[in-house]
Amino acid sequence: MSDLAIRVEGLGKKYHIGSAQKSYSTLRDTLSTAFVAPFVRAGRLLRGQATGAAGLTEVIWALDDVSFEVRHGEVVGIIGHNGAGKSTLLKVLSRITEPTRGKVDLYGRVGSLLEVGTGFHPELTGRENIFLNGAILGMSRVEIERKFDEIVAFAEVEKFIDTPVKHYSSGMGLRLGFAVAAHLEPEILVVDEVLAVGDAAFQRKCLGKMGEVAQEGRTVLFVSHNMAAIENLCSRTILLKQGKFINDGPTNEIINEYLSDNKPLAYGNLATAPRPKSSYRPVLQSFNILDEQGEPTATIRSNDPVTFEIKYKSDELTSNLIFAILVHTVTKTPLVFFQTLTHHGPVERWPSEGVLRLKIPALPLGAGTYRLSVECATSRRPKDLVDVVENCAELTVVAQDFFGTGYLPKTGPHGYFLVNGEWEIPAASNGHMAGAPTEQTTKSVVEKPDIAPTAQETSQATAAASSEPTESTPTEGA
C-alpha cells in the first residue's frame, strides 16, 4: 500500500475578476430567472451588449501549475504572502472548490476547518451538525457517539449543544468547528488561518490538539501567517507566491526564504516607511542602532553595549507621549519591550522634535538575527497608538564566550537570553569536584546535552585574534 496521503499534479484554479458572484437561490428565484432570462438576453442584444461573461474584466490564476506530494503522518505548513493561493489550495483539497485544471488525489478521510461555520447547516443544532459531519466522513453512529462528549467539552458549548448553530457567536462556531474537524479522526486534517480568530488560550488549545493529531500519525496541512506556530508544529513547509509553487523543504529553510521577501527597512529614515494603519501619523522619523563608539551598526556581540536611537517630530502631540522599542525574532516572537514610561517614568511635556537614545550596557541576547519595531502612543492602551513602524531594523548578534567556559546554549531551542549563574557541583567519590579541571585543561566545563562550544582548543588562537568566537558543534564525548 502506498504511503502517500496527498498527490497534487499541475493544479490550477482560475477566477474572473469583476464577474458577479452567484448567490444561493430559492426554487422561486430559479423559476423566475428561467422565465425572464430570454427577455434579458434579447434586451442585451438590442443594446449591443454581449450575452455571455458580462462584466468580466480580468482573469487571474489563484493557483497556477502547483504540484507536490504529502505522505501519511507528515505535518506540512503552507506559507506565503496574502494572495499567494494558500486558502484556495486548501479549499480545493477539501473539495469545496473545483479546480480549473490539474489533478488531486486524496488517500484518506479529510477533516477541514477553513472558515467559521464551514460544513455546518445553520438550521441544525450543534449536536445534529456533529453527527452530520461524522456521517459525511463515513463514520458510524457508534463511532461518533464515542467521540461526542470529547468534542463538546473541547468546544466548551455544553449549554448550547441543542441550539441551532445560526444562533452561535463566531467564537462558539469556531470552537465547535475545530473540535469536530480534529476529533472525528480524519486521516488528513486541513486547517486554515481561521485559528487567528480565536483568543490566545483557544489558539494554544488548538495547536496542542494539532500536535496530538500529528503524534498519532495522521496527516496535517496547516496554513498560517504565524511563523512561530509553523516552526513549532511543522517539520516541512511549502512556499507559495502569487499562485505558484516556489519551494518545498525543511521548515526553517523555507521560513527564511519567505522572510527574505519581507526584509526590514534600511536603517535611518522612517518618515516614508509603510505603517500598519493609514490612520497613524509619521511621528517616528528615523531609527538607528549604535555600537559602543556611537557608530551606526547592524552587528554586535553578545553582552556588548548597544544604543537604540529614535528621532521624532510632532507638531501637534507633545504631551504625555510614550515611546517604545520591541525586540523580536524574525518569526515575530516578542523577546523584550523597552518603554519610556516603564524605564524612565511619565514625561508630561516633550519638545516638538528631538532624539531619544536607549542605552543598554550589556545586551544579553544569544547569537542570531533579530528584528526591531518602534511605536509612539499617548497612553498604554492599544487604541491610543499614534505611530507604529514594524521591522524597522535588523540586528545580528554574534557569539562570544559569555560564561568563560568555551560553551554556549543553542539560541532558540534553549532560549534567547544569556544569564549568568553559578552551579554548585557535588564532590565525586575520589574527593575531587565532578568536572574539575585536569592537568590538560584550564577550565571546568559542566557537560550538558546539545550544548555547543564557542571555541575549542584547536581554534583558540584564531578565535582570540578575531575576538568574535562563533558557535561550533562539540566533538563527540567533549
What does the domain layout of the chain look like in residue ranges?
4-19+59-260, 268-398
E strand residue ranges, 114-267: 188-191, 219-223, 236-241, 244-250
pLDDT score of 279: 83
pLDDT score of 359: 96
The CATH class that applies to domain 268-398 reads: mainly beta
pLDDT score of 288: 93
Q: Report d(CA 24, CA 359) in Å as an integer.
A: 62
pLDDT score of 65: 95
pLDDT score of 204: 77
pTM over 0.85: no
Residues sharing a CB contact under 8 Å with residue 280, sequence separation 6 or more, in sequence order: 385, 386, 387, 388
- Which one, of 198, 240, 189, lies nearest residue 63 by Cα? 240
pLDDT score of 381: 81
Average pLDDT by stretches of 10, the chain with 478 residues: 87 78 54 62 61 60 95 92 88 90 91 69 90 81 90 90 89 83 83 66 79 86 83 91 94 82 61 84 92 89 93 82 93 91 89 94 91 91 86 87 82 86 83 47 35 39 38 36
Considering the domain 4-19+59-260, what is its CATH architecture? Answer: 3-Layer(aba) Sandwich (3.40)
pLDDT score of 313: 92
Q: Report d(CA 124, CA 132) in Å as an integer.
A: 9
- How far is C-alpha 428 from the chain's CA centre? 48
User: How many Cβ atoms are within 10 Å of 210's Cβ, its own excluded?
Assistant: 22
- Which one, of 439, 369, 445, 361, lies nearest residue 401 by Cα? 445
Q: Report d(CA 285, CA 353) in Å as an integer.
A: 10
CA-CA-CA-CA torsion for 137, 141, 143, 149, nearest 10 degrees? 100
Q: How far is CA 429 from CA 266, 425, 441, 445, in A?
A: 59, 13, 21, 19
CA-CA-CA-CA torsion for 344, 349, 353, 355, nearest 10 degrees? -10
pLDDT score of 269: 83
